[in-house]
């Protein structure tokens, strides 16, 4: 009996992955292009500096990764400075928000009642959607990092996780060269992915409470405000390692990002279960 229930749950999860991720393969062109364009840009810029005898480094995989995932530095309000939102960064995260915005809601409208009857558990349906969202985020980042790695190999970069001190100091700040491999992994992949996962789960829940359009608009607005304001409660700041307190005195602390993400995930999970337990599907 238990084996049968597990098989139903796994079949539901595979169905979510197939219809929510596989059939939307074209969305993954966004992280691929995001990485491809920026790695080419970084290589061209690095080559220019080398030809001018400014730097004597070919770059490492970590350098390429840091450049692609940098976002933007802390914006300081000044009458002499104009604000320019990092377009690549914004497109990357809005692309993911769009991919996860509608599937769960549309699936509920079309198949929710039948699925609840077949599974005999509304909680399993919601849990499958949470796992689907997690898989979608991981795949999205995997495509991004995979393209960066391929391009780094193509450009004969050292495939190590340590950044080049000269590149970091010249392009960013004197504190950036102290980042080691663990810091790079934490700030450029793990923390942004955890934050994005939390945002996606909450967005999916809000799609049922408000509408997918409104929840998607809220996420887009959050990312725009995150680029403008460097504050701990605008979680888009945690996806930009240049905003980290490791780099900028006014930056946000990674630990607070993990705590915030854990709270968002807990709320999305618990509130989702309560919402669907009381949801009228007749």
- Residue 29 pLDDT greater than 70, yes or no: yes
CA-based nearest residue to 177, from 190, 192, 162: 162
Range picked from 44-53, 180-189, 190-199, 247-256 for highest mean pLDDT:
190-199
Question: Of the ranges 17-21, 57-61, 80-84, 221-225, which one carries the lowest mean pLDDT score?
Answer: 80-84
The 10 Å Cβ neighbour count of residue 91 is 14
Task: List, for residues 214-234, the tens digit of each pLDDT value.
Answer: 999 999 999 999 998 999 999
Closest CA to 54 of 157, 169, 174: 169
Residue 126 reports pLDDT greater than 80: yes
What is residue 7's predicted lDDT score, i.e. its pLDDT? 56
174 pLDDT above the threshold of 90: no
Query: Averaged over 36-57, what is the pLDDT?
Result: 87
Predicted model pTM: 0.91
Banded model confidence at residue 111, pLDDT cuts 50, 70, 90:
confident
| Mean pLDDT, rounded, of the chain | 88
- Residue range 169-193: average pLDDT? 88
**pLDDT at 139 exceeding the cut of 70:** yes
**Residue scoring higher pLDDT (189 or 180):** 189
Higher pLDDT, 180 or 113: 180
Does residue 185 register a pLDDT over 90?
Answer: yes
Is 158 within 8 Å of 39 (Cβ atoms)? no
Q: What is the pLDDT of residue 117?
A: 63
Confidence grade of residue 1 (pLDDT, cut at 50, 70, 90):
very low
Do 74 and 251 form a contact (C-beta atoms < 8 A)? Answer: yes
CA distances from 181 to 59, 72, 104, 267 (A): 14, 21, 37, 32
Between residues 160 and 119, the one the model is more confident about:
160
CA distances from 233 to 141, 201, 209 (A): 23, 17, 22
What secondary structure does DSSP assign to the chain, as a single string? -HHHHHHHHHHHHHHHHHHHTGGGGGGGHHHHHHHHHHHHHHHHHHHHHHHTTS-----BHHHHHHHHT---PPPPP-TT------HHHHHHHHHHHHHTTSHHHHHHHHHHHHHHHHHT-HHHHHHHHHHHHHHHHHHHHHHHHHHHHHHHHHTT-B--SSPPHHHHHHHT-TTGGG--HHHHHIIIIIHHHHHHHHHHHHHHHHHHHT-HHHHHHHHHHHHHHHHH---TTSGGGGG-GGGBTTT-TT-B-HHHHHHHHHHHHHHHHHHHHHHHHS----
Provide the CB-side half-sphere exposure for 270 (13 A, CA).
6
Phi, psi of 248 (to 5 degrees): -120, 140
Candidates 131, 139, 157; CA nearest to 40 is 157
More confident residue, 282 or 71: 71
Looking at residue 76, its pLDDT comes to 76
């Amino acid at each position: 009996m238990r084996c049968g229930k597990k098989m139903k749950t796994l079949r539901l999860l595979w169905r979510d992955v197939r219809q929510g991720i596989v059939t939307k393969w074209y969305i993954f062109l966004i992280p691929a292009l995001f990485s491809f364009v920026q790695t080419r840009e970084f290589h061209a810029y690095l080559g220019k500096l080398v030809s001018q005898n400014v730097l004597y480094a070919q770059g490492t995989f970590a350098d390429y990764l840091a450049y692609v995932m940098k976002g933007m530095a802390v914006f300081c309000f000044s009458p002499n400075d104009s604000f320019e939102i990092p377009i690549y960064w914004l497109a990357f995260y809005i692309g993911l928000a769009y991919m996860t915005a509608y599937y769960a809601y549309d699936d509920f409208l079309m198949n929710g009642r039948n699925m609840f009857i077949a599974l005999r558990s509304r909680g399993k349906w919601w849990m499958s959607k949470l796992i689907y969202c997690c898989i979608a985020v991981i795949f999205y980042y995997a495509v991004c990092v995979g393209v960066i790695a391929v391009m780094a190999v193509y450009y004969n970069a050292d495939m190590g996780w340590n950044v080049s001190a000269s590149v970091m100091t010249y392009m960013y700040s004197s504190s950036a060269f102290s980042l080691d491999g663990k810091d790079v992994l934490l700030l450029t992949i793990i923390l942004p992915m955890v934050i994005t996962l939390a945002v996606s789960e909450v967005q999916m829940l809000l799609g049922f409470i408000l509408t997918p359009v409104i929840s998607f608009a809220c996420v887009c607005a959050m990312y725009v405000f995150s680029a403008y304001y460097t504050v701990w409660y605008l979680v888009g700041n945690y996806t930009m390692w240049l905003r980290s307190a490791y780099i900028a005195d006014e930056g946000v602390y990674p630990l607070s990002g993990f705590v915030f993400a854990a709270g968002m995930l807990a709320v999305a999970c618990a509130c989702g279960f309560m919402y669907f337990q009381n949801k009228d599907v007749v």
